[in-house]
Amino acid sequence: MKKSWLMILCALLFALTAVFAAGCKQDTKTEAPETKATEAPETKTEEATEPETEEVTEPETEEATEPDAPAEDDAEVLGEGSTVFNFKVTDKDGNVKAFEIHTDETVVGDALLALELIEGEESQYGLYVKKVNGILADYDVDQTYWAFYVNGEYAMTGVDATDVEAGATYEFKVEK
């Protein structure tokens, strides 16, 4: 029983120390006060007065964007058709090129092949993409390959077996 009262007393003492330290601070930073558990707070009979603070306003900054994510306005519009999807190409240096694809194709691979954005070889597993937007990634040459993503997630199907979904984002990234 004595231990629980002692713990409550210590917690109250810590809280009072924090309140006292916050009231005595002269700058406008909002950092937590540093206190040691073994220090006892000083007791004063005078009332502490709060220091005058000036209202500090932060300068307005433009919203930060990821360097890999180009603005939608920068996307090159390609194709004709009633279905629209986003397509991004990320090269080995992390540079991203964005496209807005308009198509009537029902398979992503067919839409990208028709626009000559991808090239590859047929294999027993489907289309093995070696070139995207004119950039070669060939595992036999430099141990890199084109990884295919759907809405930011690694695709569970190949580009030639993925149905077009309006508004979706499809991406090829060079990976090792």
Task: Write down the CATH number for the domain with range 73-175.
Answer: 2.170.130.30
DSSP for residue 139: H
Break the chain into its structural domains and give their ranges: 73-175
With contact defined as beta carbons under 8 Å apart, do 51 and 26 qualify?
Answer: yes
Task: Please name the amino acid found at residue 103.
Answer: T
19 or 9, which is more confident: 9
pLDDT above 90: residue 25 = no
Tokens of 89: 């190409």
Phi and psi, residue 129, nearest 5°: -75, 125
DSSP for residue 109: H
Residue 108 half-sphere exposure, CB side, CA atoms within 13 Å? 28
Question: For residue 154, how many other CB atoms are within 10 A of its CB?
Answer: 10
Whose tokens are 């289309």? That residue is 127
DSSP for residue 156: S
Residue 123 half-sphere exposure, CB side, CA atoms within 13 Å? 10
Compute the distance between CA of residue 101 and CA of residue 78 in angstroms, rounded to an integer: 5
Compute the distance between CA of residue 111 and CA of residue 117 in angstroms, rounded to an integer: 9
Q: pLDDT tens, 39-58?
A: 444 545 555 555 555 555 55
Q: pLDDT tens, 102-160?
A: 999 999 999 999 999 999 999 999 999 999 999 999 899 899 999 999 999 999 999 99
8 or 45, which is more confident: 8
